[in-house]
């Protein structure tokens, strides 16, 4: 094959991948749930961006009276120190989302690595890796998180690392079983016969087909990460000086927001988490429906 031909083939292949992706995007936009999910998630990101650039007040400035219900100057009222809740919420959204996605990406990286290796190479490698995964999965997550966080330095980085370590096992199981079934497909056998090495096959044939599943899991991992970090912060663990949904709720609890009926302080961070969960659910389910072959219905 001449250089020219090889080049043309490469362009054709990548453009077919691009067009497949574009088709996929079109399908997504027409799917009601996917659209709803995307809108919700996008709104949250928008809030985070606004928070970063245009929060009305510095979250730590205490010029206003504490425990104020919503007013025109403070659309979401103030907290126990007179800090503006809206600013806390705007900035907190960004932090929470950042934490969630960091966890998701790190876990995904490890999880995919372990899952594909175990699934593709099988045998002893598989056994050993999966035993480790099994043990990690049985140990109850939240208590373990609590202890780890209690003993390790209380920073956001620690939280992210700890949560990542606890999240990847589940993903690796999923990836492994997908790899196992993909391994049997025709084109993988064909690649094997044409003499490609294991790693080449993994990168060319297997991983591209794992992308939808990885994407879906990253979304759900991110949500789980956000919720877990919020839970930890609520429990008083992690970096309590950070501004995020979890710490908002921590301070609400610790400073008796209940007593002051401070619903304006309680609702936004929780709603943020719920919105994230719903949006992720819609999006994840939609992608799942669109990419996984449907079981033959009658």
Partner 1 sequence: MVTLGYVIRRFIYMLITLFVAITLNFLLPRMVPGNPALLILITKYAGNFNPNQLKLIESELNLRGTLWQQYIGYWNDLLHGNLGPSYYFYPETVNQIIASRLPWTLFLLGTAMLISVIIGVIIGSYSGWKRGLSDNLLQAVSIGLTSLPYFWLALIFQLVFAVMITINGRHLFPVAQAYSITVTPGLNLPFIESVLWHSTLPIITLVITTFPGFALLMRNTVVTVLDEDYLLLAKAKGLSIKTIRKRYVNKNAMLPVTTSIALAFASIVGGAFLVEEVFSYPGIGYALYTAVTVSDYPLIEGIFLIITLTVILANFAVDLIYAYLDPRVVLK
The contact set with partner 1 (CB under 8 A) reads: 134-135, 138-148, 150-151, 223, 227, 230-231, 234-237, 249, 252-253, 258-259, 261, 263, 266-267, 269-270, 273-274, 276-278, 281-282, 298
Q: CA nearest 37: which of 294, 244, 291, 277?
A: 277
Q: Which positions ≥6 away from 24 have C-beta within 8 Å? A: 290, 291
**Which residue's CB is nearer to partner 1, number 113 or number 266?**
266
- Count of beta carbons in the 10 Å neighbourhood of residue 96: 30
We find the least distance from the C-beta atom of residue 224 to partner 1, in angstroms, to be: 10
Least distance CB 215 / partner 1 (angstroms): 19
Round to whole Å and give the CA distance between 50 and 43. 10
Give the whole-angstrom CA distance, residue 226 versus residue 275.
12
**CA-CA distance, 18 to 297, in Å (whole number)?**
30
State the minimum distance, in angstroms, from the CB of residue 184 to partner 1.
20
Nearer to partner 1, 53 or 151 (CB): 151
In the complex with partner 1, which residue's Cβ is closer, 46 or 258? 258
Name which of 202 and 230 has its Cβ closer to partner 1: 230
CA 40 to chain centre: 15
- Of 115 and 257, nearer to partner 1 (C-beta) is 257
Burial class (CB in 10 A: 0-12, 13-18, 19+), 252: buried
CA diameter of the chain: 78
Q: Considering the complex, what minimum distance in angstroms separates the CB of residue 148 from partner 1?
A: 7
Cβ distance 234 to 249 under 8 Å? yes
273 C-beta neighbours (distance < 10 Å), count: 20
Q: How far is the CB of 25 from partner 1 (least distance, A)?
A: 23
Nearer to partner 1, 146 or 207 (CB): 146
Q: Which is nearer to partner 1, 195 or 296 (CB)?
A: 296
User: Closest approach of Cβ 264 to partner 1, in Å?
Assistant: 11
Between 14 and 127, name the residue whose CB sits nearer to partner 1: 127
Minimal distance, residue 222 CB to partner 1, in Å: 13
| Shortest reach from residue 250's CB to partner 1, in Å | 9
């Amino acid at each position: 094959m001449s250089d020219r031909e090889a080049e043309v083939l490469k362009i054709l292949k990548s453009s077919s991948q691009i067009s497949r992706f574009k088709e996929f995007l079109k399908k997504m936009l027409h799917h009601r749930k996917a659209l709803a999910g995307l809108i919700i998630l996008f709104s949250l990101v928008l809030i985070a961006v606004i928070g970063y650039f245009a929060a009305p007040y510095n979250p730590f400035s205490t010029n206003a009276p504490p425990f104020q219900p919503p007013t025109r100057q403070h659309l979401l009222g103030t907290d126990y120190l007179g800090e503006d809740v809206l600013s806390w919420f705007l900035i907190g959204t960004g932090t929470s989302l950042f934490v969630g996605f960091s966890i998701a990406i790190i876990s995904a990286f490890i999880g995919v690595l372990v899952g594909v290796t175990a699934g593709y190479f099988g045998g002893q490698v598989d056994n050993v890796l999966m035993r480790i995964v099994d043990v990690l999965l049985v140990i109850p997550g939240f208590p373990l998180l609590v202890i780890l966080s209690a003993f390790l330095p209380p920073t956001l980085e620690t939280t992210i690392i700890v949560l990542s370590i606890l999240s990847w096992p589940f993903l690796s199981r999923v990836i492994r079983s997908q790899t196992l079934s993909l391994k049997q497909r025709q084109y993988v056998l064909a690649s094997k016969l044409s003499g490609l090495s294991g790693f080449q096959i993994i990168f060319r044939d297997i991983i591209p087909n794992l992308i939808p599943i990885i994407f879906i899991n990253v979304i759900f991992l991110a949500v789980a990460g956000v919720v877990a970090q919020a839970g930890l912060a609520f429990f008083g663990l992690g970096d309590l000086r950070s501004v995020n949904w979890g710490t908002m709720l921590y301070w609400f609890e610790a400073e008796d927001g209940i007593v002051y009926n401070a619903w304006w302080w309680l609702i936004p961070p929780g709603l943020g988490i719920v919105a994230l969960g719903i949006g992720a659910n819609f999006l994840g389910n939609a992608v799942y429906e669109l990419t996984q072959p449907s079981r033959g219905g009658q």
